[in-house]
């Protein structure tokens, strides 16, 4: 069962390198994966379900990393939270997937799915640490603002990945730290 899901996922990613998601058929997927249509439909109701499941699998890894690093704030001034470094490392490890999903192949589905996902991860941090004097905007708007900024930087970085995940985390943290942490707060840096 896992092997079938894996070959279907790999077939999807291979086909997305060649054409837009809308142009891919279940027949294309099953032919590429070397399975029959009945097998496909035992696992998925439609190709969209395969796409969503593929997105979930990649983002579940990110969620697991977030749970492992929850509460790990910077150890020294100017250093980003370890989770931010791990986020860029995760994107680097799945760079081709992210590029495909951010591009035409993802057909906007991934952008929306990922933005909502990152907003959900950021909301508790924003709720706890966002400096009120910076903005009195509702929590949902503050979370969307930061999620959109982080995703915009991530998407841009994935175009050429000239900088290391560590460098990207340091720079992104330097840009957003003033919104989240007061410089003179004891445990917050």
Give the pLDDT confidence of 8-41 residue by residue, as tens digits: 999 999 999 999 888 999 999 999 999 999 999 9
Same domain, 10 and 74: no
Distance CA 11, CA 120 (A): 30
Instruction: List phi, psi (to 5°) of 164.
Output: -75, 160
List Cβ neighbours of 20 (8 Å cut-off, separation of 6 or more).
104, 105, 107
Give the pLDDT confidence of 33-63 residue by residue, as tens digits: 999 999 999 999 999 999 989 989 988 988 8
Q: Is residue 119 part of a domain?
A: yes
What pLDDT band is residue 115 in, cutting at 50, 70 and 90?
A: confident
Same domain, 116 and 166: yes
Q: Is residue 186 part of a domain?
A: no
Domain span at residue 16 reads 1-44
> Is 0.85 topped by the overall pTM?
no
């Amino acid at each position: 069962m896992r092997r079938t899901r894996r070959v279907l996922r790999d077939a999807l990613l291979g086909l997305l390198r060649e054409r837009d998601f809308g142009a891919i058929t279940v027949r294309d997927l099953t032919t590429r994966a070397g399975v029959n249509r009945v097998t496909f439909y035992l696992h998925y109701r439609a190709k969209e379900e395969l796409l969503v499941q593929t997105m979930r699998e990649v983002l579940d890894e990110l969620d697991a990393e977030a749970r492992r690093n929850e509460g790990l704030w910077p150890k020294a001034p100017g250093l980003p939270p370890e989770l931010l470094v791990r986020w860029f490392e995760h994107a680097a490890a799945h760079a081709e997937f992210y590029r495909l999903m951010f591009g035409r192949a993802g057909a906007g589905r991934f952008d929306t799915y990922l933005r909502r996902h990152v907003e959900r991860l950021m909301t508790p941090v924003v709720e706890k640490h966002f400096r009120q004097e910076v903005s009195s905007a509702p929590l949902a708007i503050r979370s969307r603002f930061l999620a959109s900024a982080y995703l915009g930087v991530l998407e841009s970085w994935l175009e050429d990945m000239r900088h290391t995940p560590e460098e990207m985390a340091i720079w992104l943290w330097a840009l957003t730290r003033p919104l989240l942490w007061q410089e003179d707060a004891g445990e917050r840096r």
